[in-house]
Structure 1
Amino acid sequence: MEHSVVSREDWLEAREALLQQEKAFTRARDRLNAARLALPWVKVEKDYVFDTPQGPRSLADLFEGRSQLLVYHFMFGPDWEAGCPGCSFFADHIDGTLVHLNNHDVTLVCVSRAPLAKIEAYRRRMGWTFPWFSSFGSDFNFDYHVSFTKEELAAGPVYYNYRMTPPEQAHDELPGMSCFYRDADGTIYHSYSNYARGGEEMLGTMMILDCAPLGRNESSTMDFVRRHDEYEEKPKAASCCH
């Protein structure tokens, strides 16, 4: 990408013009967040059981006594040997947030269809401590439209990200996050789910890169991301940008 080099005065003029766009974006984001909070809720009628290091636990148990639960649908299928690199990138952002979320009445967990033993082995490899449970044998991933059987994919488009997605754009496991509220009487409601790039603002590294001189410097979404123990010891030389 070519960049012009200008005087400080001309740069300030351009920067002040961009600031107006940034302020408009912030106000638009505030309106979007308000609209998200205003969404209606759906009562969760089905009982789900998850395999955890503490034994089988229900969806209600995952709240850990709090009223709000965020479930990140971590792509890790039963026959996979490792978790998805993109989901692992998201997971690298979780541990430091937990103390703040927990003290704001929010529990954040990850759920995958991989058996618990695989999850625990991969967690140890990556050095994470956040809660991560298995929905293997449960309908949970299928009901929240992040897992698909081979038969479903062979039959044609599958329902993902609120549209019918062609099989060539789908996979047996896909990312997303679902949010739940637990009332004082124990009733659980599904309030919100996002998929694909819908949760991108939760990726702090991406937001930081957006401010860097070369931005994300990617040819396709997150093409530079690796599991954090798979990067080369030294970064490759940067390509010329002028």
Structure 2
Amino acid sequence: MMKMKTPPIVSAQEWENAREELLVKEKELTRARDAMAAERRRMPWMAVEKDYRFEGPNGMVNLLDLFEKRRQLIVYRFFYGLEVTNSYAEGGMYPERGCAGCSFLADQVAHPAHLNARDTTLAFVSRAPQSEIRGLKKRMGWAEIPWYTIIDDFDADFGVREMHGTNAFIREGERIFRTYFVNNRGDEAMGSTWSYLDITALGRQEEWEDSPSGYPQTPPYRWWNYHDAYGEH
């Protein structure tokens, strides 16, 4: 094994100086990330004109149903179905295994109750039938995430003919609009409540954010809660 070329060993004060120098750049990155999220909130909306259908655990539903009566919807196209080959599943075949990268993401998804508290629903969709989805959800402990079967061109129409991708939607009554899309390496940052809210049209909905006039906003911290306690307020 090749010996690692490690950084220099320094005193506590020298280490703190180096950290402070790097912190300046980290703060710049944070501000740039906030500014990018603010631009997403000003993205134009695209009307969804087709009536997309899905098979759910309780029967057939449409895209509006996936919102679960909330204002916003985030849909992750999980690469799981007959099209998943051994090379994508890594160590096994469908239906025992899905895409390794999609499974990695699913393992780090925060409890959806926090998104729900911001009037936002997260859902997975795949080509696999519900019988296979139920089995994988049970095995992997993904019970809290709604997961539907694609039966039409939804994935192809929204940038994910195969593999994975994340679409954000918003609704005005029964009218649905596509507001954002991220895939490829953009997906690797997803999973936290903040990363999901930052790609939505309404953002984190906190007062410090740079959002268009009239967007819903509340003080930070005050809305945060235990994932099983949001119904108390």
TM-score normalised to structure 1 length: 0.70
1:134 aligns to what? 149
**RMSD in angstroms over aligned alpha carbons?**
1.6
- Shift, 1:86, TM fit: 1.1
Write the mapping of 1:3-82 to structure 2, written as runs, cut at 5 A: 3-80=7-84, 81=94, 82=97
Quote how far apart the aligned CAs of 1:93 are: 2.3
Residue identity opposite 1:36 in structure 2 = R
What letter matches 1:119 in structure 2?
A: I
Is 2:169 the partner of 1:180?
yes
Paired positions, count: 177
Identity %: 45
- Aligned in 2, Cα 1:200/1:79: closer, same or farther, shift over 3 Å? closer
1:196 maps to which residue?
184
CA offsets 1:30-61 (integer angstroms, 9 cap, x no match): 11000111100100001110001110000000
Note the 1:159-238 alignment, pairs <5 A: 173-184=162-173, 186-203=174-191
Contact residue 122 and residue 146 of structure 2 kept, 8 A: yes
Runs of 5+ unmatched residues, structure 2: 85-93, 196-233
Q: C-alpha distance in 1, partners of 2:164/2:116?
A: 23
Task: Tell whether the 8 Å contact from 1:74 to 1:87 is kept in structure 2 after alignment.
Answer: yes
How far apart, CA to CA, are the structure 2 residues paired with 1:99 and 1:144? 26
Counterpart residue number, 1:119: 133
Alpha-carbon separation, structure 1, partners of 2:38 and 2:188:
18
Instruction: Give the TM-score normalised by the residue count of structure 2.
Output: 0.72
Which secondary structure does the structure 1 equivalent of 2:30 belong to?
A: helix
Structure 1 gap segments, 5+ residues each: 148-172, 208-242
Preserved contact between residue 105 and residue 188 of structure 2 (Cα < 8 Å): no
CA–CA separation in structure 1 for the residues paired with 2:118 and 2:147:
20
- Structure 2 CA distance, aligned partners of 1:194 and 1:25? 19
- 1:93 pairs, out of 108, 112, 115, with 108
